[in-house]
């Protein structure tokens, strides 16, 4: 399963785009990557049952590198709320392992594809909203942070996203300022991505008919190309987040997600 020069260029540009989005909005880029990786793997003759699973796992693997780049830039600006990262991470790791080493390997590709589509459709709807929480609302108690982390890790592991579409709205709901929520979400992306990537590798280790250059469910050529290119643009996204109208950009991005959701629904029902 050789990668053509056109696919190499496509994956590099895809990585550049997802890296910028990761820095700008605190997203891992998986919601963009999964539909495109599904298409590329399908063109290579990978079985329909594996295309969605491998796309989700590979997209998650790239977030390990993207999150490191974006969180470094955010940290230098003092935007990351590290106390939130520390309190949510234990639940996130547990939820990620439940998803990647348990549920993920047992669910059929069609169900994962439909779940992914529903998730990004809901996320796009949320991005259009501009609800403001009650000024008195505070961050929850310690056990509720465990529950919140568990939910973030679990959902992220099933859809191949870095958790930004869950953690950012959650933090905004708790009156964390937008810029701090975006930066903290980028930091949370690392434990989410690392735990899930290890889980996808273990759960896919003995799966048959995987394409060459695969590590469990992860397709290494795409992981390498997207990871290298995305880390070069994440810092520019962070810089743009300081000055650009992020709320307006979120609505533009939400429109793109709607089209990607429709595409993934179509691919899932035709598996």
Phi then psi dihedrals of residue 111, to 5 deg: -70, -40
Helix (H) or strand (E) holding 42: helix 30-43
Burial-class residue 66 by CB neighbours within 10 Å (0-12, 13-18, 19+).
Answer: buried
Task: Read off the pLDDT band of 192 (50, 70, 90).
Answer: confident
Q: Which pLDDT value is given to residue 56?
A: 86
pLDDT digits (tens, 9 = 90+) for 94-128: 988 888 887 777 777 677 777 777 776 776 776 66
Q: Which pLDDT value is given to residue 225?
A: 92
Secondary structure letter of residue 80 according to DSSP = -
* Residue for token pair 């063109």: 43
The DSSP secondary structure of 235-246, one letter per residue, reads HHHHHHHTTS-H
Inform me whether the pLDDT recorded for 218 exceeds 90. Answer: yes
**Within 10 A of 152 (CB to CB), how many other CB atoms are there?**
28
Angle value at C-alpha 247, between 245 and 253, nearest 5 degrees: 105
CA distance 199 to 195: 6
The structure's pTM equals 0.76
Contact 56, 99 (CB under 8 A): no
CA distance 235 to 183: 12
Percent of the chain with pLDDT over 70: 76
Three-class SS of 194-237:
HHHHHHHHHHCCCCCCCCCCEECCEEHHHHHHHHHHHHHHHHHH
């Amino acid at each position: 399963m050789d990668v053509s020069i056109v696919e190499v260029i496509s994956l590099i540009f895809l990585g550049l785009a997802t890296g910028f989005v990761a820095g700008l909005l605190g997203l891992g880029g998986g919601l963009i990557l999964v539909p495109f990786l599904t298409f590329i793997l399908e063109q290579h003759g990978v079985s329909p049952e594996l295309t969605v699973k491998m796309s989700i796992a590979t997209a998650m693997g790239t977030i390990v590198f993207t999150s490191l780049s974006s969180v470094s830039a955010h940290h230098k600006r003092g935007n990351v709320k590290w106390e939130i990262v520390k309190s949510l991470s234990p639940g996130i790791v547990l939820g990620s392992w439940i998803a990647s080493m348990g549920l993920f390997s047992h669910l059929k590709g069609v169900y994962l594809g439909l779940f992914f589509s529903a998730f990004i459709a809901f996320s796009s709807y949320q991005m259009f909203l501009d609800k403001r929480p009650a000024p008195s609302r505070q961050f929850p108690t310690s056990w509720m942070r465990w529950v919140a982390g568990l939910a973030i890790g679990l959902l992220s592991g099933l859809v191949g996203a870095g958790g930004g579409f869950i953690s950012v709205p959650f933090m905004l709901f708790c009156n964390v300022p937008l810029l701090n929520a975006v930066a903290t979400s980028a930091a949370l992306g690392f434990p989410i991505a690392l735990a899930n990537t290890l889980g996808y590798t273990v759960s896919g280790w003995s799966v048959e008919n995987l394409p060459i250059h695969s590590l469990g469910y992860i397709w290494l050529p795409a992981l390498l190309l997207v990871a290298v290119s995305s880390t070069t643009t994440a810092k520019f996204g962070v810089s743009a987040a300081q000055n650009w109208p992020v709320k307006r950009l979120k609505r533009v991005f939400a429109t793109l997600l709607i089209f990607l959701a429709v595409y993934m629904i179509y691919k899932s029902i035709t598996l």
